Chains A and B, each alone.
Chain A
């Protein structure tokens, strides 16, 4: 497979990867960096891709890179005591959802999105995130419970 095959299979998933990583990393600029890194790593490993699901493959690479990035960010956050401001692209009616996502652990955020938005099973997510299936189940259940409570609260008159 050559570069043309790669771009044909992967390019269309790139914008979605950036958006997914924005929710996981909670930083759109960092998400772009990680997505680019994932794209380039995917290109480098293209000959090892089994050809089944380019989107899942790209997302797996991206999410793992994101978790590595977050480990590093923790060190920098401690060092810099930096504060991250809330993004301007989140509309006011969803700012609480954005904040609630921030309250989840990044792997939990990723598991929730892979399950709720993409429909991956807990076993599939476990393989993508290198986590036990039971742990994934616990993450998703906990995240859903918290976010549903938030949405219910928001819909109260």
Chain B
């Protein structure tokens, strides 16, 4: 038996032994699909995680209560939905924003019952799921994601839950809601009319099966009158990359020089180069090279040889690949074609 055969055999045995389900536990229905969604909490929602709220519900029959959008050019826009003793409010202080403004949208869930506390059901994360739909000027759609976990949570009558719009959903590597969009702590949108929806899969019962509440507002995003930065067009890219992945002044440099660093505890190990400006670069190493951890220390190997270790200055030439997301999310993805260990001045 060859090495490859044995590897295949062992992996097959391992996979076969893994537990499984014979079939999905959720029932499908043709109309709306009875489903629960997992939340991909955007980076901006990390602070919201501290509040530790996320919930579960069902997608069908989303419109519980009445939504009454009331746009006003100067006074902002607000919509409410009422379901039982709960009032869900979505508001924005302005109905017209420019491409340069960080858009402010806040959702509030208020218990308006006459008794004591009311119960809703949350998991870790945020209770509010936000969707974005471009209704004119394009057709971009971002469906926020929900967490599968169901936990009970109480809202006191005098303490409504409030949360600014947090980004969640699937990263669209070639779409407008790309990684940079999710990394930005603010919400910038390109020109167009946008519907912003908030959904709370809330239930007053004793399980997570209750119907969700939702409401929506529409805002207009217009070109800024004057701009110190490129106006948003096809992509709602923020004015500047966030600190964690700040793009260098040259967006796609011919080479990158940085100090080798890494963290063995991230995603099975993540290695990056930190350049003089402090930017971190996640390198897709060329054939023959690989990033590894030896005793917890990040190293670069070529074949069997260690060619660089933590703290070494490494220069790579190549380019930023289009449409490639970073799994580690610690830096800018850069596909290297050549590797030089040293000062980068020559060799």
Q: Which residues of A contact B (CB under 8 A)?
A: 2-3, 6-7, 11, 14-16, 18-20, 22-23, 28, 31-37, 39-40, 43-44, 64-65, 67-72, 74-77, 79, 89-91, 94, 97-98, 101-109, 112-113, 116-117, 130-132, 134-135, 137-138, 141-142, 144, 147-148, 151-152
Contact A19/B10 with A68-B170, A105-B268 known, Cβ cut-off 8 Å: no
Are A90 and B284 in contact (CB-based, < 8 A)?
no
Q: List 21 A-B contacts (CB under 8 A).
A: A11-B23, A14-B22, A19-B18, A23-B14, A28-B19, A33-B148, A40-B26, A43-B33, A74-B267, A74-B328, A75-B46, A76-B49, A79-B46, A97-B14, A117-B15, A130-B173, A131-B324, A138-B284, A142-B290, A148-B3, A148-B7
Q: Which residues of B contact A (CB under 8 A)?
A: 3-4, 6-8, 10-26, 28, 30, 33, 35-41, 43, 46, 49, 124, 148, 170-171, 173, 265-270, 284-290, 292-293, 321, 323-325, 327-329, 335
Cα distance A112–B20 in the bound complex, in angstroms: 20
Are A70 and B267 in contact (CB-based, < 8 A)?
yes
B109 to chain A, nearest CB (A): 23
Are B15 and A39 in contact (CB-based, < 8 A)?
no
Are A22 and B284 in contact (CB-based, < 8 A)?
no
Cα distance A144–B284 in the bound complex, in angstroms: 18
Task: Report chain B residues within 8 Å CB of A79.
Answer: 46, 49
Query: Which listed residue, B13, B148, B324, touches A94 by the CB 8 Å rule?
Result: B13
8 new A-B pairs (CB below 8 Å) besides A19-B20, A101-B14, A113-B15? Answer: A28-B18, A40-B24, A71-B329, A104-B268, A105-B327, A112-B11, A134-B335, A144-B4
Are A113 and B28 in contact (CB-based, < 8 A)?
no
Are A135 and B335 in contact (CB-based, < 8 A)?
yes
